[in-house]
Amino acid sequence: MTTAQASGTFAIAGDLPVVRLGYGAMQLTGPGIWGEPRDADEAIRVLRRAVELGITFIDTADSYGPEVSERLIREALHPYADGVVVATKAGLTRQGPDVWTQLGQPAYLRQQCEMSLRRLGLERIDLFQLHRIDANYPLEDQVGLLLELQQEGKIRHIGLSEVSVEEIEAARKIAPIATVQNLYNLAERRSEDVLEYCEREGIGFMPWFPLATGELSKEDGPLADAAREHGATPSQLALAWLLRRSPVMLPIPGTSRVAHLEQNTAAAEIELTDAEYDALSALG
């Protein structure tokens, strides 16, 4: 068993199995998620090493770079190995480093899907996510466009990002929703109700920013003692907690360095006791 596979698997929408511990490709770009990476060769090595480590789920977006992350994924991994799933997103435009603007205009979303297909070298995107719901356009138009793309065979499954339970329910009246990607980590759990809803409904939940543990992850912080007992880092423990938290949890930690990737992926093999899990839960 390769390292990542120790995290187990989850079948997105019941028919698309992925290894639960995935990889988020946002940090492959330049500073501010803008432009080319500082070390393009290392970015390629990271992606190839991720697959070697048993990671089968890679999450990206057209806005990462923009376009840079998707292009690197194709360069590193195309033709894709059997079982490798590349998920991407549309709905945010970029005007500079760390600048993000919502755009849910249906014609724009269709254009971005077509461009992502071309950049990734795919005939169908396995998971296409609405990066944000844009309040300037009816939800029916935005999710309805994704349903059209699904019916045309250009995307397999539809996902949402940064949504409430009410928004998920409204979207599900328009189209099947396979995954949700919200901010969630050991220290930031405002999406607890969304996670619980996803668990009840069998919807995959991707916690973005899974390692934003802040004070918890300092060398002398609350996670430090437990991490030492496991011979692990605080960040590895935070990932292990996420994997234990729910069977629908699909953590996608990102990095631009192979060494950090290997460290993150080793978290899949950490088994927390009930007491350790409860103690970590209380810290958050």
Active-site annotation, residues: 64
Contact 14, 243 (CB under 8 A): no
Contact 95, 123 (CB under 8 A): no
**Helical H segments across the chain, by residue range:** 40-52, 68-77, 106-120, 139-151, 165-172, 192-201, 222-230, 234-245, 258-265, 274-283
Element housing 92 (H / E)? strand 92-96
The amino acid that residue 245 corresponds to is R
**DSSP letter string, 159-180:** EEES--HHHHHHHHTTS---EE
Does the bond joining 247 to the residue before it have cis omega, within 30 degrees of 0?
no
3-state SS, residue 273:
coil
Q: Which of 204, 140, 212 is nearest to 172 (CA)?
A: 140
